[in-house]
C-alpha cells in the first residue's frame, strides 16, 4: 500500500533551494497565524446531526443530499456525480463530518470514529467546521492512499483497511486541512517556490493538530490513536517532540507550546521535505501538461485523483 495523503493539491525542488520571493514569507506568516488560531480555538462544538439513510445506489441523491431530508445545505451541481465517480458505494459509505447514521455498516463505523474524535475538544471544533461546510467523509475501498482530502469536492477519504486507531489519526489530519483550504487554497499566481512552501506549512500544521488531537484523546481514555502515531516510523518523531514539550510544561499553555514543537519538528527531516516537495512539483507539471494554449490561471488547484 502506498503511503500518502492528498489535500487540495500537494509537493519540491530540492531541500535548501530558495522557496520563492517575498510573497513566500507572507504566506508562511499567514499560515502560521492560521495554525495558532486553530490551535487556540477551544469552542464547544455540537453534533451536526444525521444527513440521510443508507439507501440503495439508485437513491443516491436522497442519501447524500441533505436538502432532500433536512433542508440544510445542498451538495451542489455535479458534486454528487463526482463523488459517486470516486466512491461508487457513496450512499452507504459516506457521511457528513460529525454526523451520526448507523443504517449501513460503513456509516456506523464512521459514526463511531466521529464519536471517538468528539472526546477531543479540538477535534470537535474541526468536525463542526467541516460539517457546516458539508464536508463528507467516505470509506473508500478503492484508494491506495491511507487518507486524502479533495478540497474541490469537500471530500475526505479513508482507507477501510486501516486499524481504528490509524483511521482516527488520518481523519484528524484530513479534518485539519479543511479550514486551511477555505483561505489558503493553492493559487497559481504564486511562483512554484511559494507553492512548495505553502504546501510544507499546510502539512506541518495539519500534522501538528492531528498530534494534539491524539494527545487529547489519550488523556480522555482513548490511547489507540496516540499509540499509532508514536509508533509510526514516518511521523513518530513529531509525536515524541510534542510529548517532550508537553511534559516539560504541565499547564494548559504547555499544550499550545507542544503543538508548536510538533509543527517545527515536521521540518526537521530532509526526506520528509523532499517527499512533499517532489509531490508538489509533479502535480504542477501535470497541470501544466493539461493546459491547452494560453489560458488564465485558475484560482485554485485540486486533485482529481
Over residues 5-14, the mean pLDDT reads 34
Over residues 121-146, the mean pLDDT reads 94
- In this predicted structure, the answer to whether residue 181 has a pLDDT above a threshold of 90 is no
Query: pLDDT > 90: what percent of the chain?
Result: 51
Over residues 15-19, the mean pLDDT reads 40
Over residues 13-42, the mean pLDDT reads 48
Q: What pLDDT score was predicted for residue 42?
A: 45
- In this predicted structure, the answer to whether residue 299 has a pLDDT above a threshold of 90 is no
Q: What is the phi/psi pair of residue 55, to 5°?
A: -90, 175
Over residues 231-239, the mean pLDDT reads 96
Model-level pTM greater than 0.85? no
- In this predicted structure, the answer to whether residue 132 has a pLDDT above a threshold of 70 is yes
Over residues 37-47, the mean pLDDT reads 43
Q: What pLDDT score was predicted for residue 191?
A: 81
- Residue 100 to residue 145: CA distance in whole angstroms: 25
Q: What pLDDT score was predicted for residue 124?
A: 97
Over residues 125-150, the mean pLDDT reads 93
- In this predicted structure, the answer to whether residue 242 has a pLDDT above a threshold of 80 is yes
What does the pLDDT look like over 75-89, one tens digit per residue? Answer: 666 788 888 889 988
Asked whether 210 and 126 are in contact (CB, 8 A), the reply is no
**What H or E segment, with its residue span, contains residue 209?**
helix 192-219
pLDDT grade, residue 51 (50/70/90)?
very low
Q: What pLDDT score was predicted for residue 27?
A: 54
The rounded mean pLDDT for the chain is 77
Q: What pLDDT score was predicted for residue 288?
A: 75
Q: What pLDDT score was predicted for residue 7?
A: 38
Sketch the domain layout of the chain as residue ranges: 5-288
Over residues 91-111, the mean pLDDT reads 94
- In this predicted structure, the answer to whether residue 32 has a pLDDT above a threshold of 60 is no
- Distance, CA of 93 to chain centre: 18
Query: Any idea which residue has 517532540 for its cell?
Result: 241
Over residues 186-214, the mean pLDDT reads 88
- In this predicted structure, the answer to whether residue 43 has a pLDDT above a threshold of 50 is no
Q: What pLDDT score was predicted for residue 303?
A: 43
- In this predicted structure, the answer to whether residue 301 has a pLDDT above a threshold of 90 is no
* Residues 9-26: b if buried by 16+ CB within 10 A, e if exposed: bbbbbeeeeebbeebbee
Q: What is the phi/psi pair of residue 129, to 5°?
A: -60, -45
- In this predicted structure, the answer to whether residue 112 has a pLDDT above a threshold of 70 is yes
Over residues 23-51, the mean pLDDT reads 47
> How is residue 259 written as a grid cell?
503543538
Q: Which candidate, 218, 272, 211, 202, places its Cα nearest to that of 245?
A: 211
Amino acid at each position: 500500500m502506498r503511503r500518502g495523503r492528498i489535500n487540495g493539491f500537494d509537493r519540491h525542488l530540492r531541500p535548501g533551494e530558495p522557496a520563492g520571493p517575498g510573497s513566500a514569507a507572507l504566506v508562511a506568516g499567514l499560515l502560521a497565524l492560521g495554525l495558532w488560531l486553530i490551535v487556540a480555538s477551544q469552542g464547544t462544538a455540537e453534533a451536526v446531526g444525521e444527513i440521510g439513510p443508507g439507501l440503495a445506489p439508485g437513491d443516491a441523491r436522497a442519501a447524500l443530499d441533505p436538502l432532500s431530508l433536512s433542508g440544510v445545505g445542498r451538495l451542489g451541481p455535479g458534486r454528487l456525480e463526482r463523488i459517486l465517480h470516486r466512491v461508487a458505494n457513496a450512499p452507504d459509505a459516506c457521511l457528513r463530518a460529525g454526523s451520526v447514521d448507523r443504517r449501513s455498516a460503513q456509516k456506523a463505523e464512521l459514526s463511531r470514529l466521529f464519536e471517538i474524535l468528539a472526546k477531543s475538544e479540538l477535534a470537535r471544533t474541526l468536525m463542526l467546521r467541516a460539517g457546516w461546510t458539508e464536508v463528507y467523509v467516505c470509506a473508500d475501498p478503492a484508494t491506495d492512499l491511507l487518507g486524502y482530502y479533495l478540497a474541490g469536492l469537500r471530500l475526505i477519504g479513508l482507507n477501510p483497511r486501516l486499524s481504528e486507531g490509524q483511521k482516527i489519526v488520518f481523519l484528524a489530519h484530513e479534518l485539519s486541512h479543511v479550514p486551511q483550504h477555505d483561505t489558503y487554497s493553492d493559487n497559481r499566481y504564486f511562483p512554484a517556490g511559494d507553492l512548495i512552501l505553502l504546501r510544507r506549512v499546510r502539512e506541518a500544521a495539519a500534522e501538528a493538530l492531528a498530534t494534539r488531537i491524539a494527545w487529547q484523546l489519550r488523556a480522555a481514555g482513548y490511547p489507540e490513536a496516540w499509540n499509532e502515531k508514536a509508533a509510526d516510523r514516518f511521523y513518530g518523531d513529531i509525536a515524541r517532540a510534542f510529548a517532550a514539550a508537553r511534559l516539560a510544561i504541565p499547564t494548559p499553555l504547555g499544550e499550545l507550546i507542544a503543538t508548536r514543537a510538533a509543527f517545527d519538528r515536521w521540518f526537521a527531516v530532509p526526506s520528509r521535505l523532499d517527499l512533499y516537495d517532489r509531490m508538489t512539483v509533479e502535480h504542477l507539471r501535470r497541470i501544466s501538461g493539461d493546459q491547452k494554449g494560453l489560458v488564465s490561471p485558475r484560482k485554485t488547484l485540486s486533485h482529481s485523483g
